[in-house]
Amino acid sequence: MGALDLSIFSLASFLIFLVPVFYINRHLGLEINKTMITSIVRMCIQLSFVGVYLEFLFKFNSPVLNTAYLLIMIAIACQSILKSSNLKLRKFFIPVFFALLFPFTIMLFFFNAAVVRIDNLFEAKYMIPIGGMLLGNCLRSIIIVLNNFYSGIRRDEKVYLYSLSLLCSRIQALKPYFRQSFLAAVTPTMATMATIGLVSLPGMMTGQILGGSIPIVAIKYQIAIMFSIFYTGYFCVILSVLFSLKVGFNALDVLNQDIFVSKV
């Protein structure tokens, strides 16, 4: 037996908590009430659209449609990453897109083929939700690594140029910045893995239990998805930096200043 259905009234009842939230924001002088409303409205509209569209995808279960939907998800993820990293979309979209695509595709099909062992690797009920979880968890890591890497070099450009003047290669000069940004990107995921089950019950496990699965099956799936999330994020972080170096630096290994979005 699956989880109980929720009425529209039940969902709308959450809006009552906006009253104290808006009051506190106003009292503290935080001008974010309009942004909160916009975010809530967008969330409801987007999830409602996804719910309708997923029913369509699950019904037809077309490999072409499923693949196209995931490619659109990757493209939207790239746009969100670059916007949050203050890097120009037209310069970094292709490097970040392929940095996401390769590890994501390998891990998704490995999950379906070797772990779950389904006959149809493009099965919508596995491909879409698992793919969404992998992408969603990679977003934060890639944002952190790109933001820290390029802002760190921009901030300490004289130190970086000094390293180059000592006949260091570009890779050698960039290694300290990459190491620092890489650790910042992967540490939250490792912390989540270290405390999962003790501090919180993760979403996939909770969803499967509510959907009727016995806890031990839900735990196995959660362990599998955490491995997938970690490996996908790990390699996406590395590739996002490596693939972006060509547009991030000129022929003389100097940081291109026109890659950053101007803050007005």
Q: What are phi and psi of 52, to 5 degrees?
A: -65, -45
Residue 228 has pLDDT above 90, yes or no: yes
pLDDT computed for residue 152 by the predictor: 92
pLDDT computed for residue 263 by the predictor: 62
pLDDT digits (tens, 9 = 90+) for 236-259: 999 999 999 999 998 888 899 899
**Positive or negative CA dihedral for 89, 90, 92, 95?**
positive
pLDDT computed for residue 54 by the predictor: 84
Task: Specify whether the backbone of 111 is left (phi greater than 0), alpha (psi in -120 to 50) or beta.
Answer: alpha
pLDDT computed for residue 200 by the predictor: 66
Instruction: In whole angstroms, give the CA distance from residue 148 to residue 135.
Output: 20
pLDDT computed for residue 53 by the predictor: 82
Q: Which long-range contacts (CB under 8 A, 24 or more apart) does 249-253 make?
A: 249/170, 253/164, 253/170, 253/173
Mean pLDDT, rounded, of the chain: 89
Span 219-224, average pLDDT: 88
Residue 204 has pLDDT above 80, yes or no: no
pLDDT computed for residue 264 by the predictor: 52
pLDDT digits (tens, 9 = 90+) for 4-27: 788 889 989 999 999 999 999 999
Residue 201 has pLDDT above 80, yes or no: no
pLDDT digits (tens, 9 = 90+) for 78-117: 999 999 999 999 999 999 999 999 999 999 999 999 999 9
pLDDT computed for residue 262 by the predictor: 73
Are 69 and 126 contacting, i.e. CB atoms less than 8 angstroms apart? no
Span 206-227, average pLDDT: 83
Span 129-135, average pLDDT: 91
Which residues sit opposite 196 in a β-bridge? 200
| % helix, strand, coil for the chain, step of 5 | 80, 0, 15
- pLDDT-derived band at 2 (thresholds 50, 70, 90) equals low
pLDDT digits (tens, 9 = 90+) for 134-167: 998 899 999 999 999 999 999 998 998 888 888 8
Residue 233 has pLDDT above 90, yes or no: yes
